Amino acid sequence: MEPALGIQMDEPMAFSPLGGRFQAEGSLKKQEQNFKPPGVKKDIEKLYEAVPQLGNLFKIKDKIGEGTFSSVYLATAQLQVGPEEKIALKHLIPTSHPIRIAAELQCLTVAGGQDNVMGVKYCFRKNDHVVIAMPYLEHESFLDILNSLSFQEVREYMFNLFKALKRIHQFGIVHRDVKPSNFLYNRRLKKYALVDFGLAQGTHDTKIELLKFVQSEAHQESCSQNKSYVITGNKISLSGPAAPKELDQQSTPKTSVKRPYTNTQTQTKHGKDGKEGSVGLSVQRSVFGERNFNIHSSISHESPAVKLMKQSKTVDLLSRKLGTKKKTISTKVMNSGVMRKTASSCPATLTCDCYATDKVCSICLSRRQQVAPRAGTPGFRAPEVLTKCPNQTTAIDMWSAGVIFLSLLSGRYPFYKASDDLTALAQIMTIRGTRETIQAAKTFGKSILCSKEVPAQDLRKLCEKLRGINSNTPKLISDIQECSSHDPAFSEKTENHKIVHFIQTPQAQPSGNPSYKGDGNGCGGNFEESATNLEGWDEVPDEAYDLLDKLLDLNPASRITAEEALLHPFFKDMSL
Ligand code: ADP
Ligand code: MG
């Protein structure tokens, strides 16, 4: 991957190595597109129309990714003298906030291009359409290869992920959305790339200047009061009643974006897969970068009445019971001590009678909701994110890396599947223990109430059971276990009490007993597809589970860093 070469915005082509070649080949282009689904073909045509410069340089072949805030296309180009290159074109939704776009770009240009962090080649803009051109990395689907990876490949995968995380964390970038689809892996070439800085935020001392603008919700509030951003040359100016600031914008020489930002169009709806919230077409993407809207923390321009209504809704979430058929673990998260005071809109001294109970009283209903970053995907969110701890650090990415490692060791993806934060938290507690979670939460000012005590699980036993390996007599028992790698180890459909029982009593069903029918949580078999690779899996060293334990440390202050992880004995014979 190469570092940034330049950004091209709205101006005549600085250079056009292909001249009008693609235009001349217009009919061929159309012919080649014929085999594509009509939707994709249309999208490609629309993209050529929206950003005509692309037609001079690229032959857009296919759509390879579609998320809430972008569509990614595979294109080819002959950018320099030499063979055709494959390029990934990321078309950001036109309503993306200019600062958000510029920050994503700055992460790629400043930190990207080495150590497994994706770089950028060009950026194009026409009106409100922005397209980031990156080197294309062909990659595998995590789920497709999960059960065929050798243990050594898993080691290499994790090592390379930590390498990327070390790099971005050194720049004070918190990625906030670390998950397999954002860490591209080419198995054959052993190439890796961390992508998607669309939700990134900066640490207090971040070296990415633009991330200072997407650092806090409070800032978003101050930015959204009819100010406008003007990006000219290497500078970004904030104009408006307060805080006219100028920032150096590195590596973005030809930018000129001016767009007022108001929140009036904002509306939320559920994403099509129910996993992530999505916004309607007319929606302005928040600077703050929130992708999930199941709690209203990103809404900042409402009347108090609306806030109160929304708060009541949130409380419903808080008092929800988990499990579909039977009450299992119910959770409630509160700010404790000082944190409670700062988040409150009613007098801090006002006492209430619901503290440490599983009810929420009217006094608490009138307290202001605490706001904290919650971006990301629920199953990968760290406990401090799920409990809305306002001081979040690069440690949240390490937790997400831990969840990936858990998938790799257990052969289950996604490992946790939850559509809201409290369900996700309860799922974490079933693995890491309720008492341990409650204790850790206290260290970051949160009080969690739990209706039931569940002990922490032994990570090795858990992973071996889920993977279908018996540690006493190492062999595959997948033919007698009814779970598939497609099934999350935890889902909302799952009856938690059964999971808990299943995990707590692995000996209850001796492995190899053909009458054992899985854990009864609805998992289905798919063993022929996985071509399971046993290589190394019969002797997973303790170091693997020690590292996993340190990644899934409930306390962000003691959680292992990327730099430390690279030096962990699990990677003893690997060098940077
Ligand atoms: P989004 O913000 O929509 O999630 P991403 O940057 O994560 O956007 O890209 C979406 C998908 O597009 C990725 O999961 C990956 O499959 C593909 N993709 C993105 N960048 C590249 C790239 N440089 N090379 C190959 N594929 C890419
Ligand atoms: Mg992504």
Domain ranges of the chain: 38-135, 142-217+374-471+539-571
Q: Which of 43, 61, 69, 72 to mutate to test the pocket of ligand 1 (most atoms within 8 A of CB)?
A: 72
Which pLDDT band holds residue 489 (cuts at 50, 70, 90)? confident
| Ligand 1 neighbourhood includes 382 CB (under 6 angstroms) | no
Quick one: average pLDDT of 380-406? Answer: 97
Going from the C-alpha of 481 to that of each of 73, 377, 499, 504, 532, the distances in angstroms are 39, 28, 14, 17, 14
Task: Tokens for 453, please give them.
Answer: 């005590």
Which pLDDT band holds residue 144 (cuts at 50, 70, 90)? very high
What's the angle, vertex CA 207, arms to CA 201 and CA 209, rounded to 5?
Answer: 70
Note the residue count of the chain: 576
pLDDT computed for residue 314 by the predictor: 31
pLDDT computed for residue 535 by the predictor: 83
Q: What is the 3-state secondary structure (H, E, C) of 56-96?
A: HHEEEEEEEEECCCEEEEEEEECCCCCCCEEEEEEEECCCC
Q: In sequence order, what are the residues at sequence separation of 6 or more whose Cβ sits closer than 8 angstroms to the Cβ of residue 355?
A: 334
Q: In sequence order, what are the residues at sequence separation of 6 or more whose Cβ sits closer than 8 angstroms to the Cβ of residue 271?
A: 68, 277, 278
Q: What is the number of the ligand 1 atom nearest to the C-alpha of 195?
A: 6
Q: In sequence order, what are the residues at sequence separation of 6 or more whose Cβ sits closer than 8 angstroms to the Cβ of residue 80?
A: 17
Give the chain's radius of gyration (CA, Å): 25
- Ligand 2 centroid from CA 316, angstroms: 30
CA distance linking residue 231 with residue 567, whole number of Å: 41
Nearest to 22 by CA among 64, 52, 63: 52
Pick the catalytic residue from 10, 115, 128, 177: 177
pLDDT at 502 over 90: no
Beta bridge partners of 185: 192
Question: Could you identify the residue written with the tokens 């935020």?
Answer: 201
In terms of CATH architecture, what is 38-135? Answer: 2-Layer Sandwich (3.30)
pLDDT computed for residue 517 by the predictor: 31
Contact 385, 416 (CB under 8 A): no
**Lowest mean pLDDT, pick from 32-41, 297-306, 530-539:** 297-306
User: Which CATH homologous superfamily contains domain 142-217+374-471+539-571?
Assistant: Transferase(Phosphotransferase) domain 1 (1.10.510.10)
pLDDT at 10 over 80: no
- Ligand 2 centroid from CA 195, angstroms: 7
pLDDT computed for residue 271 by the predictor: 34
Nearest residue by C-alpha to atom 11 in ligand 1:
65
Quick one: average pLDDT of 465-471? Answer: 80
Domain 38-135 matches domain 142-217+374-471+539-571 at the CATH topology level:
no
**Lowest mean pLDDT, pick from 4-13, 113-122, 303-312, 465-474:** 303-312
Kindly report the average pLDDT of the chain as a whole number.
72
pLDDT at 384 over 80: yes
pLDDT computed for residue 336 by the predictor: 65
Residues making up the annotated binding site are 90
| Ligand 1 neighbourhood includes 182 CB (under 6 angstroms) | yes
**Lowest mean pLDDT, pick from 335-339, 394-398, 509-513, 534-538:** 509-513
Strand locations in 78-190, DSSP E? 85-92, 122-126, 129-135, 173-174, 183-186
177 is catalytic: yes
Residue type, 75: A
242-265 pLDDT tens trace? 333 333 333 333 333 333 333 323
DSSP type of residue 378: G
pLDDT at 506 over 80: no
CA distance linking residue 503 with residue 464, whole number of Å: 11
Identify the nearest ligand to the CA of 178 by its number.
Answer: 2
| Ligand 1 neighbourhood includes 178 CB (under 6 angstroms) | no
- Ligand 2 centroid from CA 81, angstroms: 32
pLDDT at 527 over 90: no
Residue type, 246: E
| Ligand 1 neighbourhood includes 88 CB (under 6 angstroms) | yes
| Ligand 1 neighbourhood includes 398 CB (under 6 angstroms) | no
pLDDT computed for residue 282 by the predictor: 37
277-333 pLDDT tens trace? 332 333 455 554 445 433 233 323 333 222 222 333 332 222 333 333 344 567 777
Identify the nearest ligand to the CA of 66 by its number.
Answer: 1
- Ligand 1 centroid from CA 307, angstroms: 35
Q: What is the number of the ligand 1 atom nearest to the C-alpha of 118?
A: 23
Quick one: average pLDDT of 323-346? Answer: 52
